[in-house]
Amino acid sequence: MFFFLRAHIDIIIGSWLNMPDMQKKIKVFDTTLRDGEQTPGVAFTLEKKLELAHALSDIGVDIIEAGFPINSEDEFRAVKQISSEADTKVCGLARALISDIDACLKADVDLVHTFISTSPQHLKYQMMKSEEEVCEMAVAAVEYIVDHGLPCLFSPMDATRSDLGYLVKVCKAVEEAGAGTINIPDTVGVIYPTEMKELIGKLRKEIHVDLDIHCHNDFGMAVANTLAAVEAGCNQVQTTVNGLGERAGNADMAQVVMGLHVLYGVKTNIKTEKIYPLSKLVERLSGIRLMPNFPIVGDNAFAHESGIHVHAVLKKAETFEPINPEMVGARRRLVLGKHVGIHGVAAKLKELDIAVDSEQLREITSKVKDLGGKGKKVFEEDLIAIAEDILGMVPQAERKIVLIDLELQSKINKKPVASIILKVDGVEKNAKEDGVGPVDAVLNAIKSAVGREEILVEEYHLDAITGGSDALADVTIRVGDGRRTVMARGVHEDIVMASVIAFINGLNRLLRLG
């Protein structure tokens, strides 16, 4: 009730009108390629950085922080190339040191982001400098950037743990020196929204240039703090895709942008329908998988399982969806499991073009619930098998691909080789292929025998159902042919066989979909 009332009011007047310090349009400064790359274990190659920079440009971020050019030759080259290729403004990071700023200038960036710590902890233990010395270094850095004709973004690092009087003094000094934007970093993620509002409110009264906000997620408040800063007058937000970043990460772009658009009625230049595909790209290129319950872009963000929810969502999506998934380029998923109801199963069967009467539907639903209740993931493949069983179909005869035989040769220091014999539409086919490991070799041989080299394994997940080296291996696989993707599963004592069963199940399912 509250949401719909809010949404209704927002549509009519726009909630920014209720918050006098809020700007109507907020700029998005993306730091996925800089702070995001500081995520432990993440390093983007030049090719990956370029691909991401183009995707960030495409989605409409206002500024891309491409990296820290002084860091290494590779980093310098990446920032320079992004600067020459990207359609968006490109920023380079620099400590308040001439050498760092020169590296940014040489990389041909459009603006320089220079920073220096202002908190007592950093001054004493990291910088070993006095407040005066740091303030002088900050001013000198900003002047140097401005003298070289570039706009300057200045960050007093660890601002939220700095003495307010000193923070204001440094911000005013760099403003006078020519900084066009001042960013307030919550470097160790320790502020909370009410405090953030107060801090930005005070700074907004003292500083006249653009105010930017950079929040870390150590207490899970990066997004809330970013939004609070906007409420208090910041007109630029620093975010990363998928919330990547140092330690617990930075404020997530999707959540900040959708929070601004939907909850506050404030716009950005982000094309929201590109949010989900961008998140997937970053997941793939960073190797960091999102939790399924990650807001907006997680696998479960628009997934419904419980009977009550599915029934209502099928009638009117907004009953249990705060936004339409298409708004962020995602899709609604009806999930089969312990909590599923008759309407969810009916909708899934309809999607699969399987006609059932009401008695059969009840029976299928009860079997799906039983399977889910045993803690098993229930895939479409399982639903098809249950339906086939109850409808008295002959599943084996419907399968286009059937495994006849498999031989695997594996020697230490040699690529494993798999020889496979399949029946494809009743005709025997065989193939022999190698791979980086036994599973890869067998899957390559299957693709080759079926003559479908374009089939890709998009996801592969292995669970051991029981303990010990004879544990049952449960392989879940996502296969796609460029047009459609399906999930499939195989369970066997042998990992290779579990993978073969899952892959063949997936192929059969793809072929069945046509």
- Under the rule (CB under 5 A), what is the footprint of Zn ion? 35
Closer residue to Zn ion, CB minimum distance, 63 or 487: 63
Shortest separation between residue 190's beta carbon and Zn ion, angstroms: 13
Cβ contacts of 469-472, under 8 Å, gap ≥ 24: 472/498
Shortest separation between residue 480's beta carbon and ligand KIV, angstroms: 37
Q: Which amino acid is at 123?
A: L
Shortest separation between residue 30's beta carbon and ligand KIV, angstroms: 13
Closer residue to ligand KIV, CB minimum distance, 95 or 338: 95
Shortest separation between residue 23's beta carbon and ligand KIV, angstroms: 21
Strands in 24-170 per DSSP E: 27-30, 63-67, 89-95, 111-117, 152-157
Shortest separation between residue 372's beta carbon and ligand KIV, angstroms: 43
Name the burial class of residue 30, with classes exposed (0-12), middle (13-18) and buried (19+) by CB atoms within 10 angstroms of its CB: buried
Nearest to 258 by CA among 288, 226, 233: 226
Closer residue to ligand KIV, CB minimum distance, 27 or 216: 216
The answer to whether residues 491 and 381 touch, using CB atoms and an 8 Å cutoff, is: no
Shortest separation between residue 89's beta carbon and ligand KIV, angstroms: 17
Shortest separation between residue 120's beta carbon and Zn ion, angstroms: 19
Shortest separation between residue 156's beta carbon and ligand KIV, angstroms: 9
Partner whose footprint covers residue 115, from Zn ion, ligand KIV, none (CB < 5 to 8 Å by kind):
ligand KIV
Partner whose footprint covers residue 75, from ligand KIV, Zn ion, none (CB < 5 to 8 Å by kind):
none
The Cα–Cα gap between 481 and 443 comes to 14
214 forms part of the interface with ligand KIV (CB under 6 A): yes
Nearest to 440 by CA among 481, 410, 474, 470: 410
Q: Residue 43: helix, strand or coil by DSSP? A: coil
From the list 115, 144, 294, 302, which residue makes contact with ligand KIV (rule: CB under 6 A)? Answer: 115
Q: Which amino acid is at 392?
A: G
Partner whose footprint covers residue 155, from ligand KIV, Zn ion, none (CB < 5 to 8 Å by kind):
ligand KIV
In this structure, are strands 456-464 and 473-480 parallel, antiparallel, or unpaired?
Answer: antiparallel
The Cα–Cα gap between 133 and 123 comes to 10
Chain positions 302 to 321 lying near ligand KIV, rule: CB under 6 A, are: none
29 forms part of the interface with ligand KIV (CB under 6 A): no
Buried b vs exposed e over 109-128: b needs ≥16 C-beta within 10 Å?
A: bbbbbbbbbbbeebbeeebe
185 forms part of the interface with ligand KIV (CB under 6 A): yes
Closer residue to ligand KIV, CB minimum distance, 155 or 235: 155
Partner whose footprint covers residue 157, from ligand KIV, Zn ion, none (CB < 5 to 8 Å by kind):
ligand KIV
37 forms part of the interface with ligand KIV (CB under 6 A): no
Strands in 88-235 per DSSP E: 89-95, 111-117, 152-157, 181-186, 210-215
Q: How many residues bind ligand KIV (CB under 6 A)?
A: 8
Closer residue to Zn ion, CB minimum distance, 35 or 474: 35
Q: Residue 333: helix, strand or coil by DSSP? A: strand
Phi and psi at residue 144, to the nearest 5°? -60, -45
Closer residue to ligand KIV, CB minimum distance, 255 or 272: 255
Which helix or strand (DSSP H or E) is residue 418 part of? Answer: strand 417-424
Closer residue to Zn ion, CB minimum distance, 244 or 450: 244
Closer residue to Zn ion, CB minimum distance, 245 or 438: 245
187 forms part of the interface with ligand KIV (CB under 6 A): yes
Partner whose footprint covers residue 379, from Zn ion, ligand KIV, none (CB < 5 to 8 Å by kind):
none
Closer residue to Zn ion, CB minimum distance, 86 or 251: 251
The Cα–Cα gap between 296 and 293 comes to 9
In angstroms, the Cα distances linking 496 to 61, 367, 443, 449, 499 are 44, 29, 9, 17, 5
155 forms part of the interface with ligand KIV (CB under 6 A): yes
Cβ atoms within 10 Å, residue 484: 11
R_g of the chain, CA atoms, integer Å: 28
499 forms part of the interface with ligand KIV (CB under 6 A): no
Beta partners for 90? Answer: 64
Shortest separation between residue 34's beta carbon and Zn ion, angstroms: 8
506 forms part of the interface with ligand KIV (CB under 6 A): no
Shortest separation between residue 159's beta carbon and ligand KIV, angstroms: 8
Residues forming the site for ligand KIV (CB under 6 A): 35, 115, 155, 157, 185, 187, 214, 216
